[in-house]
């Protein structure tokens, strides 16, 4: 996605500016000026609050270091302008889109959902078949996604909808047994072609210390069942002022179907 490319470009520009700043700090104090004509070149150094100082030709190495500093400072000005343009784009880029807005309406969900069923019949049967679900507070599943599926949060609605649009079969809060105990990942997912299993956990309360500690413990338990991040486990998260975005979800989905 273009949005992700712009995020990478922002990081690249930021890194270049920081690298230039490190180099600048190691170079001589002052600003270099070169006065040129058809017959001569004269070098000068200017330090704020001090008279302009002539640099003789015998100090060419010193002049070169100052000239390089002037170049790096000019380069950083160019990079800063590019970075400002990238930041402006990221601030204005929509976090939702018109198609997503339609799919958040129950009437559209129920009518459109048949067009986004998994292509593989066995996987479609797996998705639609009966499975043991999380018995905890079923009345908390108040966000409708499609016929027969409701989830607990708006963010989980976004995830489920995007999985559905990409024809990726999944089960919501399906039981997972590890060492004789039941756990309920938010989403159990099958690769739409190979059937490979992935698990997706969305951490929606990162500002809550107790919640975060429990999530970390859960990741340790998953590891006992060979479920690891960047292998067959996907994590998304949000906190105060940092909601989950469609772009993050799409990035995770591309990891599943790569």
Handedness of CA 232, 245, 141, 171 (dihedral sign): negative
pTM exceeding the 0.75 threshold for the entire prediction: no
The pLDDT profile of the chain, 258 residues, written as one tens digit per residue, is: 677 788 889 999 999 999 999 999 999 999 999 998 888 899 999 998 999 999 999 999 999 999 999 999 999 999 999 999 999 988 887 666 677 778 778 788 778 888 888 889 999 999 999 999 999 999 999 998 888 899 999 999 999 999 999 999 999 999 999 999 999 999 999 999 999 999 999 998 888 889 889 999 999 999 999 999 989 999 999 887 788 888 889 889 998 887
Yes or no: say if 199 and 187 are a contact pair by the CB < 8 Å rule: yes
Q: Return d(Cα 256, Cα 8) in angstroms, integer.
A: 20
Task: Name residues whose C-beta falls within 8 Å of residue 212's C-beta, 6 or more positions apart in sequence.
Answer: 203, 205, 206
Other CB atoms within 10 Å distance of the CB of residue 76: 18
């Amino acid at each position: 996605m273009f949005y992700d490319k712009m995020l990478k470009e922002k990081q690249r520009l930021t890194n270049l500016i920081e690298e230039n700043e490190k180099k600048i700090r190691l170079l001589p104090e002052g600003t270099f000026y070169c006065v040129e004509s058809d017959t001569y070149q004269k070098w000068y150094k200017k330090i704020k609050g001090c008279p302009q100082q002539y640099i003789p030709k015998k100090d060419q190495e010193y002049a070169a270091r100052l000239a390089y500093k002037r170049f790096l400072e000019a380069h950083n000005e160019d990079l800063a302008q590019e970075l400002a343009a990238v930041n402006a784009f990221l601030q204005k880029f929509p976090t939702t889109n018109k198609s997503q807005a339609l799919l958040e309406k129950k009437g559209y969900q129920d009518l459109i959902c048949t067009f986004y069923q998994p292509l593989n019949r066995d996987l479609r049967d797996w998705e639609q078949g009966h499975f043991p679900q999380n018995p905890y507070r079923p009345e908390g599943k108040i966000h409708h996604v499609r016929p027969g599926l409701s989830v607990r949060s708006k963010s989980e609605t976004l995830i489920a909808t995007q999985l559905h649009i990409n024809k990726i079969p999944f089960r919501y809060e399906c039981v997972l047994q590890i060492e004789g105990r039941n756990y309920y990942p938010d989403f159990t997912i099958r690769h739409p072609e190979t059937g490979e299993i992935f698990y997706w956990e969305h951490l929606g309360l990162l500002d809550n210390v107790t919640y975060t500690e429990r999530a970390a413990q859960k990741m340790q338990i998953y590891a006992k069942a060979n479920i690891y991040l960047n292998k067959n486990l996907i994590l998304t998260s949000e906190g105060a002022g940092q909601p989950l975005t469609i772009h993050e979800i799409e990035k995770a989905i591309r990891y599943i179907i790569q």
